[in-house]
Each structure stands twice: as structure tokens, then as C-alpha cells.
Amino acid sequence: MYFKIVNFEEFSRFGDQNPQIETLGRLCLQRIAARREKHAALFKLMSAQERYAYLEQEYPEMLQRIALSQLSSFLGVARETLSRIRSRRQP
């Protein structure tokens, strides 16, 4: 299978020529915007413990694959804080 990465100008040209491609691009942008909004709300409304619990519930595989330093950065807490949160949650 062959994939080609296109820049914005090429994609716009394709969209001008084919309405289905333009629709696909719009739908992709809407999904990206929705995910970014959800992520922003996650940080505004939840504590660090709640954010970790959310990730544990929604993306358990991510917690197994990502280094603690990267995960702590994503959650917006120090690595030590993340370690304390994790130790409290384990049975």
C-alpha cells in the first residue's frame, strides 16, 4: 500500500476538484478540534488524580506504553506527584 503526505495547498486543490475530499478534510478537522476541546476541559475541570483516573478508564493501554516522565508532563504534574497518585490507586 502506498501513502503520500500532502501539504495544505495540495489538499485544498484536491478538495476543489472533489467535494468528497473536501468533506473528508472538514470532518477530520472537526474531530481534531473536538479532541483538543475535550483535552482542554480535562485540564480545566479535573484534578491530577481525576485526570489520571480518566486516562486509566479511557486509555489503559497508554498508561502501559508511555514513560512516567512523558505521562507526568501530559498530565501537567511532577513525576513524583504522578508516582504518589499511582501508588494510592493500586490495591
Q: Does one domain contain both 23 and 38?
A: yes
Whole-prediction pTM: 0.60
Q: State the total domains in the chain.
A: 2
CB 76, CB 49: distance < 8 Å: no
| HSE-CB for 51 with a 13 A CA cutoff | 20
Q: What span, in angstroms and rounded, lies between the C-alpha atoms of 46 and 75?
A: 10
Q: Does one domain contain both 53 and 85?
A: yes
Q: Does one domain contain both 53 and 28?
A: no
User: Is residue 2 one of the residues assigned to a domain?
Assistant: no
User: Is residue 26 one of the residues assigned to a domain?
Assistant: yes
Q: Does one domain contain both 29 and 63?
A: no
User: Is residue 1 one of the residues assigned to a domain?
Assistant: no
Q: How confident is the model at residue 90 (pLDDT cuts 50, 70, 90)?
A: low
Q: Does one domain contain both 89 and 51?
A: yes
Total Cβ atoms within 10 A of residue 14: 15
17-45 pLDDT, tens per residue?
A: 888 988 988 898 899 999 889 888 877 88
